């Protein structure tokens, strides 16, 4: 019998991995000064817990703000994600770290990076809790490469730790593979 939920990454594994990522990020951004802190952009809603835990482990000056990008709206094609929040955050001369829950086809992060690089960010990197490289759109393979990855996973649909299925299961304490067709 197929299970509806199967633990893929436990809460303890995720928390331990976040500490490692935070150490890597703090090291790479050692040059950051308090007068121009790292601008951490949490991608709502999925990345809320990951961002909150990550920023509290960073040892460099940082500021947190929020963006929200919708991949689908009404009949709009899936290929054109649009900003619902944060498009106009002033990033001129800022070092920006976008924090995402999961990078899948790559089109969301492509849109976000394009927007903020057009607006004059000094640098843009991506930290994602999960990466599903096998799902990346071919034309984005060389373009959307997260700089900090919690875990690379196979092509599963996952929920928990901020990730949802139609707004359900976000608060589950572990990252679970979700099979809506299981008994």
Window 56-85: contact mask with ligand IMP (x via CB under 6 A): ---------------x--------------
Contacts of 62 (CB under 8 A, 6+ apart): 32, 37, 38, 39, 40, 55, 97
Pick the binder of ligand IMP from 62, 86, 106, 116 (CB under 6 A). Answer: 106
What is the spatial distance between Cα 154 and Cα 99, in angstroms, rounded to a whole number? 20
Indicate whether 107 belongs to the interface with ligand IMP (CB under 6 A).
yes
The item of Mg ion, ligand IMP, none sharing an interface with residue 40, based on CB under 5 to 8 Å by kind, is none
What's the DSSP call for residue 107?
Answer: H
Q: Which of 24, 28, 101, 104 is catalytic?
A: 104
- The half-sphere exposure of 119 on its side-chain side, counting CA atoms within 13 A, is 17
C-alpha of 34 from chain center? 24
Please identify, among the stretches 6-14, 22-30, 103-111, 117-125, the one whose residues bind ligand IMP according to the rule CB under 6 A: 103-111
User: Which residues in 35-94 contact Mg ion (CB under 5 A)?
Assistant: 46
Nearer to ligand IMP, 60 or 126 (CB): 126
104 classed as catalytic: yes
Please identify, among the stretches 7-15, 60-68, 91-99, 105-113, the one whose residues bind ligand IMP according to the rule CB under 6 A: 105-113
Indicate whether 108 belongs to the interface with ligand IMP (CB under 6 A).
yes
| Binding region for Mg ion (CB under 5 A) | 46
């Amino acid at each position: 019998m197929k299970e509806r939920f199967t633990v893929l990454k436990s809460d303890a594994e995720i928390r331990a991995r976040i500490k490692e990522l935070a150490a890597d990020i703090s090291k790479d951004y050692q040059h950051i000064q308090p007068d121009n802190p790292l601008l951490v952009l949490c991608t709502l809603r999925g990345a809320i817990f990951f961002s909150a835990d990550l920023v509290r482990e960073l040892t460099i000056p940082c500021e947190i703000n929020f963006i929200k990008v919708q991949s689908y709206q009404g009949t709009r094609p899936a290929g054109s994600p649009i900003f619902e929040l944060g498009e106009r955050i002033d990033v001129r001369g800022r070092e920006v770290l976008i924090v995402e829950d999961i990078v899948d086809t790559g089109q969301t992060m492509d849109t976000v990076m394009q927007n903020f690089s057009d607006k004059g960010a000094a640098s843009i990197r991506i930290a994602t809790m999960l990466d599903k490289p096998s799902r990346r759109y071919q034309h984005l393979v060389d373009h959307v490469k997260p700089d900090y990855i919690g875990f690379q996973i196979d092509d599963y649909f996952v929920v928990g730790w901020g990730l949802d299925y139609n707004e359900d299961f976000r608060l589950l304490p572990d990252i679970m593979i979700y099979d809506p067709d299981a008994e």
